[in-house]
Structure 1
Amino acid sequence: MTTRLIPLALIALTAVPTFSGTALAAPMLAQNAAPSSGETNGSTTNAPEIRGLAGPYLAARQAAIGNDYSNAANYYLQAMAQDDTDAFLQDSALVALISSGEMERAGALAVTMSDQGRATELARLMQRSELARAERWQDLVNAIDKTPDPSPNEGMDGQDSGGNQLLDKMIRAWALLGAGNARQSLSAFEELGKIRGARPMVNYHLALAKAAVGDYEGAELLLSEPATGAHILGVIARTQVLSQLERNKDAIAMLEATPGFDEEPQLVTLRDRMEKGETLPFDSVRTPADGMAQVFLTFASVLATAEEPDPLALIHARLASYLSPDLGEARLLSAQFLQAMGQFDLAEKEFEALRDLGDMRPIAELSRIDALSRAERLDDAEKAALALTAAHPELAQGWIALGDLLRQQDKFSQAIPAYDKALSLIGDNAGEARWFPLYARGIALERSGQFPKAEADFRAALELRPDSAQVLNYLGYSLVDRNEKLDEALELIQRAVELRPEDGYILDSLAWAYFRMGRYEEAVAPMEKAVAAMAGDSLVNDHMGDIFWMVGRHREAEIQWQRALSLKPETEADAQRIRTKLDRGLDAVLDEEMAKGGKPPVVRAPEKPAEAPKN
């Protein structure tokens, strides 16, 4: 049987309850799930003190809008110093404290709220977590039993509370196990499994509980169901259960049939240990607190994988980590959510914790590197890529990511060895898997002045993917730029245009090919389309000016050059060339360039970023 493994280690269990997120009070964070452009860059510097109530409250709201959880917490606490009886301020501060990972301060605030008779659902969850950490299991059972059933609309956000009731009851079932009532605990899980839509979620925890008390046969029966165990934690738990049943051979077969097995080091390690004859201990759940942590993680994963990820997913993931600090999945989910919110400094703390656990996940690291790169934190991204290639030198995608980052920073000569390593790992007979690193290495070689080698890579990439508009365009333009094989170059670019007729980069290449061949009138139409598609690109506007000049439209050429200059050319040399054209005209510039070295050097067409295949 093939097990479907959830990408990036998220536990997206099937057939979960259809509640629309828990009813925890998160008025600001829940309403502002994504940072707007120009918002916080992840800084967690201490918030400056602002006197009075209005100032810190407004500052807290603004920080919360930008998902700047640390500063939001500090400002809310400043506001509470002026008024410590406002339930809204207290709960908002609690949300921000937990989101930023300040769990001890959050626990103290939850106690204060309870003592004042203002405990919200989130405050109660925080207190339940503290009881579990102190192993006060019967007190935890009693606390849940004494909590009145909420009305359907209880909670500051007005959402249905069905999800919270299920969460509380699952916590209670684990607490019963902690209190020594194993039979009651298993019965409680079995009863919860009767709730419509909740069976796969509950059965996973029932399986963990059965295994925790030594009923491995019962656990295996549940985990063998795809809807119950088809996620990375389920695969790990089932592997350990099968090993305890002296079925290592079956466990190995199950692991190796899991999609993505080779990309999950922890699964490979389990396989290797069993191949040496080791019987794996069942340590997926070592204590009831670990089980309770997985309850929080289950809910966090459901919220995070919803159509619109709920910021409350982060709160549940934080509570899971608080209860079980070694639960890598919880830290990974927190890191991914923080990264998506633009809170890179907080995310890096979680990634660092994973590394300290010896739990670097290649797939997650690749996602992290990509996010850092998109956020233009290139130094951090490069460090992460170097760390990944050091920890997993056998992973071709890690070397490709490193090469891409170096190329993005114009470190072309340094990028070449990274692509060399990736291609050697992929092998000569991998077919389609080779085309992107060949193309990317070709770019690095071309930009390093090694065109013959670059051309060989581009042509090899085209053999694998003849209809790659990217490769057709880059090879075609490179030949045009070198004034070589112009007829073939034009044919390559025309094929690229047929494949992507609206692509501004490719249209620019087509126009420039006509320009270099002296077919100026034919260059006008594609160049005008390129400018329409990329109006804010300095190089494209500069090219448009050159073409207008060559067809006698000198005034329009000057307008395009002025616009190109206003759009900040890539280098000062490019800017000076445009200024010279404005002062003396293109003819004079070309005559000077011809006098200095032969063919007129042409400003390079804008390079469209190489697109890696989607995993």
Structure 2
Amino acid sequence: MRRFLFALAAPAALLAGCATTSSTGIEPAGPPAADSAYGLFLAGNAALNAGRNADAARFLEYARAHGGDDPAVSEQAFTAALMAGQVAKAATLAPTGPTASEPSKRMGRLVRAVALLGDGKGKAAQAELGGDPIGFPHRAAAALLAPWVAAAAGDTEGTVVRPQLRGDGAVDYFGQIGQAHLFERARRFDEAETNFKAVTAGENPNELAVLAYGGFLERRGRKADALALYDGALRRNPSSQAARAAKARASGGRAPAAPTLKEGAAFALLAPAATMISARQEATALAYLRLSLSLDPQRNDAWLMLGDLLQARGDLEGARAAYGRPKPGSPAFPAAQAKLAWSYQSAGDKEGALRLARAAAETGDFEGRITLSDLLRANDRNDEAAVVLDTLIAEAKAPDWQLYYARGQAHERAGRWPQAEADLSKALSLRPDEPELLNYLGYGLIDRGERLKEALAMVEKAVAANPRSGAMIDSLGWAHYRLGDYPKAIELLEQAVELEAGDPEINSHLGDAYWMVGRKDEAVFQWRRVLTLDPDDKIRADSERKLESGLGPTPRVAGP
């Protein structure tokens, strides 16, 4: 089975409700309606569980005020305020009593430290982090934050202590970036550069580290060295807006300022936020991002991460507000506009999504035009998508394989297989081991009964790279079907259905294979099932035809 859409601009469940501070910045007027403090508590919990964090904070604050400041209510009110980005309020609600849970108390200490740092009270912030170390799950965040808090407290020795936790590579790596910045702040430039060199060594260094080192070199008057770093970043990722903006600045602009203490602390919280996202601990990640943005509201990468989290949790209004924070002209603006457009697409507002994408594309921005081509393909406007991609390929000195892949998909879906095959083959020549590409081209050939042995090898290679992909196993099963090996096809297609039970095309393929070995009742069951899975018009019509008259004679199998 081919995967129809390959988005070049990567696009991230909360219930809709009252206006929320997190999404609009407007506090709802008046107290919420409820019969009792307990009712307010239940309403607050429901809103918190649904992700309507500002509503939850409001309900729980009233419940706390009307219910005698019950510790359980206060703890929930603290959580809701933090999730809503009301960091100052959360700091006042941070649980400390003996009945509060240990994780909440640890988060409370972290929140109070950040709030105090934000208020310029470095010594008080350091006292919050001092004493007993903040334990799991907030050890990494506390460790990365501690040197910046020490700097705010005037603790010269603590400022340049490198944060390390056994077995935590993210703390080690990002702690070294932070230490480099703090060495620079202490005018210990050689030690700063040693750290920067260490974190940018290797074939594929983190772009944040490269940009940090480049900024340091610019401030040291070494623009040629900074340009070399940015050129390397662009070779690795030609579409990087941040690296392109840094290169333009180094070519004739003013060097960026070193991060302030608040900005450095905000950066320090991004690594644990990303770690928590990877670990599917979204609530903790959301809390860290709120803390980071309370210290540095201009941190665009944090706004994008926050938007992705909120959208994944269903808070479309909050996500759009986050995506709207990067300003035009900033490196993050194209990605933010792309995500904003996709948020409208995911909500079913296709015209709204395309309107935003067209506006971004009209600026001439590469990422904006990529987003437009992706959305056009997502909405079956493949001729228009191909025209956009024609221009991008013509303009590129060395077009990326993904551009050919995207245009190949547009041609294939528009029924222009010769052009599609040419583009997909070109993409494969540039990226011979890419599983998605191998699967897409291989399936296209298999479905047409062309060069079956060659196509079989392609999808076998794709499955070897992604053995849990139902789509790719379906392609392999369909290849055996086309070659007439129906028992093998059934074995593979049953695996594919187990992995992608809701995919109408895979279920249709399995029904066809059952029919060819005489298992007609099972075939009919599969075709009927297809009609319940929201198939597209072509698959629906095909299933209805097969339910009426079966498959007829065995399909002719083309030569290899």
Same fold (TM over 0.5): yes
2:392 maps to 422
Q: 1:56 to 1:411 in 2, by over 3 A?
A: farther
Residue 308 of structure 2 is aligned to residue 308 of structure 1: no
Alpha-carbon spacing, 1:220–1:174, altered in 2? closer, same or farther (3 Å): closer
Distance 1:258 1:577, change over 3 A: closer
Structure 1: how far apart are the matches of 2:15 and 2:248? 40
**Residues 96 and 356 of structure 1, relative CA distance in 2, 3 Å threshold:** farther
3-state secondary structure, aligned to 2:365: coil
Q: Give a deviation string over 1:549-583, Cα, whole Å, max 9, x none.
A: 67877666554544444445433x86567556656
Q: Which residue of 1 aligns with 2:493?
A: 530
Counterpart Cα distance in 2 of 1:405 and 1:376: 12
What letter is aligned with 1:438? Answer: Y
List aligned pairs for 1:123-272, cutoff 5 A.
Answer: 135=120, 137=121, 140-141=122-123, 143-144=124-125, 149-151=130-132, 159=136, 166=143, 169-176=146-153, 184-190=154-160, 192-193=161-162, 204-205=177-178, 207-209=180-182, 211=184, 215=187, 217=189, 220-221=192-193, 223-227=195-199, 235-258=210-233, 260=236, 262-272=238-248
SS at match of 1:355: coil
Q: What SS does the aligned partner of 2:324 have?
A: helix
Question: Could you report, residue by residue, the CA deviation over 1:204-262 in whole angstroms, capped at 9, with x for unpaired residues?
Answer: 5555456557x374675455342499755554454444334333223323333346475
Contact 2:141 2:268 in 1 (8 A): no
Q: Partner of 1:88 in structure 2? A: 72
- Mapped to 2, the partners of 1:445 and 1:218 lie a distance apart of 55
Deviations 1:451-470 (A, max 9, x none): 44334435545665678242
Kindly state the Cα deviation for residue 329 of structure 1 after the two structures are TM-superposed.
3.8
Greater Cα shift, 556-565 or 315-324: 556-565
Other-structure match for 2:414: 448
Deviations 1:339-368 (A, max 9, x none): 454544323222211135724266787788
Task: Provide the C-alpha distance between the structure 2 equivalents of 1:525 and 1:193, rounded to a whole number of angstroms.
Answer: 58
Aligned residue for 2:319? 347
1:42–1:266 Cα change, 3 Å: farther
* 1:445–1:454 Cα contact (<8 Å) kept: yes
Change (3 A) 1:472 1:132: closer
Note if contact 1:296-1:319 (Cα within 8 Å) is conserved in structure 2.
yes
Q: Structure 1 residues 200 and 390 mapped into 2: Cα distance closer, same or farther (>3 Å)?
A: same
Task: Please report the TM-score for the alignment, with normalisation by the length of structure 2.
Answer: 0.70
Evaluate the alpha carbon distance shift between residue 536 and residue 88 of structure 1 in structure 2; reply closer, same or farther with a 3 A threshold. closer
SS of 2:258's partner is coil
Q: For residues 544 and 148 of structure 1, what CA distance do their matches in structure 2 show? A: 60
CA deviations on 1:68-120 (whole Å, 9 max, x unpaired) are: 4334323323432432512332233233223222x3xx424644779999996
Q: Per-residue deviation at 1:474?
A: 0.4
1:527-548 deviation line (CA, Å, top 9, x unaligned): 5753563365545555666677
Task: Give the secondary-structure state (helix, strand or coil) at the position aligned to 1:257.
Answer: helix
Task: Name the CA shift for 1:243/1:83 in 2 (closer, same or farther; >3 Å).
Answer: same
Structure 1 CA distance for aligned equivalents of residues 456 and 514 of structure 2: 21
Residue 472 of structure 1: aligned partner: 442
Aligned-pair distance for 1:419? 2.6
- Whether the aligned pair in 2 keeps the contact of 1:458 and 1:471 (CA below 8 Å) is yes
Aligned to 2:264: 294
User: For residues 522-601 of structure 1, what are the structure 2 equivalents within 5 Å?
Assistant: 526=489, 529-530=492-493, 533-534=496-497, 536-539=502-505, 558-571=524-537, 582=547, 585-586=549-550
> What's the % identity of the aligned pairs?
22
Distance across 2 between alignment mates of 1:533 and 1:304: 32
- Give, as a single letter, the amino acid of the residue that structure 1 aligns with 2:231: E
RMSD: 4.9
Distance 1:189 1:81 in 2: 41
- Structure 2: runs of 5+ lacking an equivalent: 1-11, 21-31, 464-471, 556-560
Instruction: For 1:242 and 1:458, locate their aligned partners in 2 and report how far apart those are by CA, in whole Å.
Output: 42
Paired amino acid for 2:218: S
Report the equivalent of 1:323: 295
Q: Against the structure 1 CA distance between its residues 414 and 159, is the aligned structure 2 distance closer, same or farther, given a 3 Å change threshold?
A: same
What's 1:284 paired with? 258
Match of 2:56 among 72, 84, 88: 72
Match of residue 457, structure 1, among 423, 438, 442: 423
Please identify the structure whose Cα radius of gyration is greater.
1
Verify the 8 A CA contact 2:40 2:59 in the aligned structure 1.
yes
